[in-house]
Amino acid sequence: MNRTRGTLVGVVLLLLAATSAWAQATAQINGNIADSSGAVLPGVTVVAIQTDTGFRREAVTDETGAFALLNLPIGPYRLEASLAGFRSYAQSGIVLQVNSNPVIKVTLQLGELAETLTVEGQAPPVETRNPAVGVVMTNAQVEALPMEGRNVASLIVTAGAAVDTGNPSSRSLTQTRGIAIAGGQQFGVAYLLDGALHNNVYDGDNLVLPFPDAVQEFKIETSSQNAQNGYKAGGTASFATKSGTNAFHGDVFEFARHHRFNATSPFASINKATGKRFDDGLVRNQFGGVLGGPIVKDRVFFFVGYQGTRTEQTPADIVTFIPTPAMLAGDFSTVASAQCRAQGNLTLPAALGFTNNQINPALLSPAAVKIAKMLPTTTDPCGQIAYSQTTKPREKQPIGRVDWQVNTAHQLFARYQLATTFWDPAFTNSGGNILAASSPAGQSGAGGRDIASHSLAIGETWVMSNTMINNVRVAVNRTSIVRTHADMFGPEDVGVKMYSHVPHYMNITTTGAFSINTCTVTFSFYKPNTLALSDDFTKVRGNHQYGIGGAMSLSDWKTESNVRSMGPISFNGSVTGLPLGDFLLGRMFEFRESTPFRQNITQPYMALYGQDTWRLSSKITLNYGARWEPWFPQNSKDKAFYSFDMARVRSNTHSTVYPQAPVGLYYPGDPGFPGTTGMKTVWSNIAPRLGLAWDPGGDGRTSVRVGYGMTADFVTGQFFFDSRSAPPFGLEQRLTGALFDDPWGSVGRTNPYPISPTSYPWASALYPLFITVPYDIKTTRNHSWNVAIQRQFGTNMAVSATYLGNHMFNVWGVVDGNPGIVTTPGATATAACTAGGQTFANCTTSLDQRRELSLLNPAVGQYYGYLDWVSDAGWQDYQGLLLSVQRRLGGGFTTSANYTVSRCEGLINQGQGPLNVATGYQIPVSLINPPSEAEAQKVYDADKGRCDAWRKHIFNITASMESPQFTNTTARRLASGWRVSGVFRGSSGTPLTIQAGADRALSGMQATNQRANQVADNVYGDGSINNWFNASAFALAPLGTYGTSVRNGYDGPGFKTVDLSLVRQFAVSSSNKIEARVEAFNAFNWFIPGNPGVNLSSGTTFGRITSFSTAASPRVMQFALRYLF
């Protein structure tokens, strides 16, 4: 660690003369100046003036007549050129966008300097310098296009070749989107806000982005980016906030939704009172405003804004089943009859005390009866009950920015944004109904949230000369995500003999019936922080534009999660045939308990690069460079990491730090353990970049670009989240077949909880869970390449065709290293089986005894349950064709359309984490008796399939059209001031895996991670919601074997939707207007089905579509008023 600190100190010194590894939210103008005969003109003074603020930047043409104006703030510009003996030149109407590099060619006419030739014209839309593939979403588009939830991140996917995979998890900010671009990882996008890092280090995705009124524009870039870009391999999303100008400007707004205007879902339950389906129950108001202007004219400007969101939602009634009064009295005859069971009559087992499906109530579980009496009552003989729950999220988002033009050499800016979200658990707003503590509740979930996200950026630009500029950026990002739960009851309140890590809380799941709480409905917090520094130095010399640079950051995060601190306690009907019967008898299918997962982690990041943009001729530009991006593993402040080495087991080598730990484990401080991280720092991540741009006509209207780049892609902060569940830092235990009232005593075990590292119950902590990471694991790398042809038509339109390719390697995934072994399975999973020459009476309950290490050495094996490990053998290949058309605003009309067709395949990809046992590769790769590399590769290749975040076809259109300003008074009043805008999105379906839903291999691999066998070619049904898949085309694998169907080998339903916005503006004065707005999301109310059931063991739900797509909803109306000034 001392070596690392020393290296970082050295890098800080280097950064004083370095350039940023994160692209700035600026642009530059390049060009050539010649006289009317075409002869180049050196010594021409060129000035760019931002018309809104008076900002000026000056350059002088070199001996080839070329000039470069660097690091210009985005916005509208006037370009002026002057040289003695020639008429002055001025071009207005130039609009610079984020990271744009327009090339402007100027011709000077002979004449007096006092004479000025003025032209009006925008910069060419064709990219002739940058090898990356990029799209800009302009301010006009941000303001005009409808956005779900007013979240600008929803527009990223309209750039093309991008897939929105939704909100990553309940550990993420609610506004976060997981977006994969051109075959990149779902967390593979680097987000920049005003040139400063804006990623959440914990989940790898974006921090909260400003609301639309505060966003100037943004740009999406991917594939073969300059060496300046890195941090993530999938792409870069650069957002710029608005700034103040020399004129005061702003708006106030109110956007409102009400469920009475929305369409209903075909899956919603029916209101018995009206005979109609329940609507979504949503009421939402988003309100606020922005204001910008001068503090000191031409020198100091400010911009402030605020958006508040108030939501209340009581969705359609939720239907479930609870114990009936008859069941509590011991009479199960009705619920076991065909009246309540689609499968027909069921005879409950006499061995449990049933006679004619009736039982002595004294044989019921006292704890279960107490809980049942807390539930609401039902008069339905089958126990059906409907209930509702209400959530009331509240969001606040203030933002402020100050820009200061200190002098012609120095400019400063500072921007701060806060985003808070809060709501109480649904139980709090649902009349004390404990059922409301678990079922889904719209966007919020049943648990509560208390979230705050702070983002501060400070930047300084130093113009050293006309050819040298330096930029500095500092970012401070602090996030706190707290999940809360309602205070109800815990094991101590109902008489269950178990330790309660979370007072007055239990997590109970009954298959096909009621649940109370879920794993994520309990107190937890996640608090990541990042301090980032970058410095950017650029020098133009002759035909070269050089850049050297770097960035560094230090992140830390503290977490505490209780996802399995009190369950889940599950009842599935495996004993009585009725899940509610198992519950009332206290016959658990599985009992899980874990200590809280706590982390206290730090991780540095560092990158250096050098690059050159070399103008080989007036038509050809070469980009080349390299990026050094070492990987520093996460460092646990309390040294809560460990590793496993089978060689230590064979040599009986114990830990010197924890001598009582099972042989084979070693920890920080033990000989051979790498520092406090358990992994080696990877210094060798050097990534070359190369690109060539050709302007064949020399007029900037056509370009041919090719590019190649290598990029590193690191796992997220939450990747090692579950490492704290392993001894002696934590303990997770799973019991099967235990009794609810006394889980540990009923299976002859001693309750090991509570625990601490200093008093760990090594002897009683049997078969705990481990996930180990090889100390020499390689970091994920990505090769990307592209070939792009772009052509301008007319003044405002550009079309392009781009081939995109990438190959990702060293992708991380979890592998089972200590599987359960079975030599001869029985007729059923619970029948007797043989393994290692031994016979086990019940193959399911003997899993831990059948594990490979237990069979080899039972004395050691009893202290190892799951022993999974992380492999870097994964890979991912993507090939795509992106066709696009863009027409910038002209004549009141702008549009952008793109179509992507691609293929993507690879192995397991779990880099976003968090790690969980039995969730990665289906077939084990043993740590006990390791196979050869060739044999291991065959195992990995069995999981080859299509990429998770891949859609074969993607089609997007955005468009906005404004009515003209008529000269006739009547026509102007009726027809002027209208604008209609829309977004069309369509894509192929999600790749799906057909799950076995049972441990057919008898190895302990998670049931939903085992696949079924495909036994026929006609895998699809008739395409209806009840028959998407043909169930007869699949079968469970024989016991003791793994399923052979292809991972992600089957298609879910496609997706298409149209969002529309209709706006009318009414002029109040020359600079003030009122805007009335009506928006419709999924305007045509197309039916957008969700994915069908893929669990072959789930009975009637397999192949059936039972919900609307999570990517859209039935038509939602939104109404708005804005006052603009």
Q: What letter does residue 940 receive in the DSSP assignment?
A: H
CA angle 212, 216, 219 (to 5 degrees): 100
Instruction: State the amino acid at position 1121 in one-letter form.
Output: L
The whole-number average pLDDT for the span 558-562 is 92
Tell me the average pLDDT of the chain.
92
Pick the CATH number of 2-120 from 1.20.1050.10, 3.90.550.10, 1.10.150.20, 2.60.40.1120: 2.60.40.1120
- Give strand pairing partners of 33: 106
440 has a pLDDT exceeding 70: no
What pLDDT sits at residue 1097?
86
849 residue type, one letter:
Q
- pLDDT at position 198 is 97
pLDDT higher than 50, residue 7: no
User: Tell me, what's the pLDDT at 936?
Assistant: 95
SS3 120: strand
Confidence of residue 113 (pLDDT cuts 50, 70, 90): confident
Q: How far is the C-alpha of 141 from the C-alpha of 152, rounded, in Å?
A: 11
Pick from 549, 604, 535: nearest CA to 227: 549
Four-CA torsion 688, 694, 698, 699, nearest 10 degrees: -90
Q: What is the dihedral of CA 945, 951, 952, 953, to 10 degrees?
A: 180
Other CB atoms within 10 A of residue 115 CB = 10
Mean pLDDT of 4-10: 41
Residues 744 and 107: their CA atoms lie apart, in Å, by: 87
Q: Contact at 8 Å (CB) between 626 and 227? A: yes
| Residue 568, preceding peptide bond in cis (omega within 30° of 0) | yes
DSSP helix, strand, coil percent of the chain (3-state; round to 5) = 10, 40, 45
Please report the pLDDT score of residue 755 as a whole number: 86
CA 734 to centroid of chain Cα atoms: 30
Tokens representing 651?
């040599």
3-state SS class at 214:
helix
Instruction: Please state, in angstroms and rounded to a whole number, the distance separating the CA atoms of residues 184 and 781.
Output: 11
The number of beta carbons lying within 10 Å of the beta carbon of residue 968 is 10
Least-confidence region, from 374-388, 947-961, 1038-1052, 1072-1086: 374-388
Q: What is the CA angle 865-867-870, rounded to 5?
A: 160
- The pLDDT confidence band at residue 280, using thresholds 50, 70 and 90, is confident
- Angle, alpha carbons 1118-1121-1124 (nearest 5°): 140
Mean pLDDT of 313-340: 91
The CA distance from 942 to 925, in Å, is: 12
- Concatenated DSSP letters of 64-114: TSEEEEEEEESEEEEEEEE-TTB-EEEEEEEEE-TT---EEEEEEPBS-TT
pLDDT value, residue 24:
53
Q: Which amino acid belongs to residue 110?
A: L
Region 824-830 average pLDDT: 92
Question: pLDDT at position 722, please?
Answer: 67
Measured CA to CA, the distance from residue 1064 to residue 1079 in angstroms comes to: 12
What is each CA distance from 770 to 781, 866, 928, in whole angstroms?
27, 6, 14
Query: For residue 208, which amino acid is it?
Result: V
* 636 bridge partner residues: 601
Answer yes or no: pTM beyond 0.85: yes
Name the one residue in this structure whose structure tokens are 């976060």: 176
d(CA 572, CA 581): 9
Helix (H, G, I), strand (E, B) or coil at 49: strand
| 3-state secondary structure labels for all residues of 698-756 | CCCCEEEEEEEEEEEECCCHHHHHHHHHCCCCCCEEEEECCECCCCCHHHCCCCCCCCC
C-alpha–C-alpha distance, residues 646 and 774, integer Å: 12
Query: What is the Cβ-side half-sphere exposure of residue 808, based on CA atoms within 13 angstroms?
Result: 31
Report whether 416 contacts 400 (CB < 8 A). Answer: yes
What single-letter DSSP state applies at residue 875?
A: E
Average pLDDT over every residue of 589-616: 93
Contact 212, 4 (CB under 8 A): no
- Sign of the alpha-carbon dihedral angle for 911, 912, 916, 918: negative
DSSP 843-870: TTTTTGGGBHHHHH-HHHHTT-S-EEEE
In this predicted structure, what is the pLDDT of residue 439?
57
pLDDT (0 to 100) of residue 20: 38
pLDDT > 60? residue 10: no
The conformation of residue 1001, written as its DSSP 8-state character, comes to T
pLDDT per residue over 19-29, tens digit each? Answer: 333 445 789 99
Measure the CA–CA gap between 22 and 549, rounded to whole angstroms: 9
- Give the separation between CA 1010 and CA 820, rounded to whole angstroms: 14
For residue 512, is pLDDT > 50? yes
Average pLDDT estimate for 639-647: 93
Mean pLDDT of 352-357: 95
Q: What is the DSSP letter of 336?
A: T
* Residue 130 identity: N
Most confident of 47-56, 112-121, 270-279, 797-806: 797-806
pLDDT category at 121 given cuts 50, 70, 90 is confident
Instruction: DSSP for 543-602, please give it.
Output: TEEEEEEEEEEEEEEEEEE-TTTT--EEE-STTTS-HHHHHHHTB-SEEEEE--EEEEEE
pLDDT at 71 over 50: yes
14 pLDDT higher than 90: no
Widest CA span in the chain: 112
- What does the pLDDT read at residue 461? 94
How far is Cα of residue 853 from the mean position of the Cα atoms in its chain? Answer: 37
The pLDDT assigned to 1003 comes to 96
Collapsing DSSP to helix, strand or coil, 371 comes out as helix
Q: How confident is the model at residue 271 (pLDDT cuts 50, 70, 90)?
A: confident
Three-class DSSP category at 996 = coil
Contact between residue 799 and residue 884 where contact means Cβ atoms under 8 Å apart: yes
Query: Cα–Cα distance between 425 and 433 in angstroms, integer?
Result: 12
What pLDDT score was predicted for residue 364?
Answer: 97
Dist. CA 75–CA 59, nearest whole Å:
19
Lookup result for tokens 């690091």: 71
Structure tokens at 816: 């089972």
Q: Are 629 and 712 in contact (CB under 8 A)?
A: yes
Mean pLDDT of 102-111: 91
* 675 or 182: which leads in pLDDT: 182
Which residue's structure tokens are 């305007």? 1083
pLDDT at residue 17 above 50?
A: no
CA angle 324, 328, 331 (to 5 degrees): 85
**Separation of alpha carbons 413 and 418, rounded Å:** 17
Side chain identity at residue 300, one-letter code: V
Is the predicted pLDDT of residue 157 greater than 80, yes or no? yes
Q: Are the CB atoms for 619 and 362 separated by under 8 Å?
A: no
Measuring CA to CA, how many Å separate 408 from each of 54, 461, 463, 801?
A: 11, 10, 8, 42
Average pLDDT on 605-625 reads 96
pLDDT of residue 226: 92
Alpha-carbon torsion, ordered 29, 35, 39, 40, to 10 deg: -30
CA geometry: angle 904, 908, 911, nearest 5 deg: 100
Domain residue limits, the chain: 2-120, 133-242, 252-312, 323-382
Q: Of 51, 49, 53, nearest to 296 (Cα)?
A: 53
The tokens for 554 are 């230090």
Per-residue confidence band for 566, with pLDDT thresholds at 50, 70 and 90: confident
What does DSSP say about strands 1073-1081 and 1055-1067: parallel, antiparallel, or unpaired? antiparallel
The superfamily (CATH) of domain 133-242 is TonB-dependent receptor, plug domain (2.170.130.10)
Contact 773, 678 (CB under 8 A): yes
The CA-atom distances, in angstroms, between 961 and each of 566, 894, 1066, 1078 are 56, 7, 17, 15
Phi, psi of 628, deg, nearest 5:
-105, 120
Q: Which helix (H) or strand (E) segment is 1012 a member of?
A: none
Q: Which pLDDT value is given to residue 500? A: 86
Question: Is the pLDDT confidence value at 843 over 90?
Answer: yes
In residues, how long is the chain?
1125
Q: How far is CA 835 from CA 544, 659, 1101, in A?
A: 70, 31, 35
Task: Check residue 638 and give its pLDDT.
Answer: 87
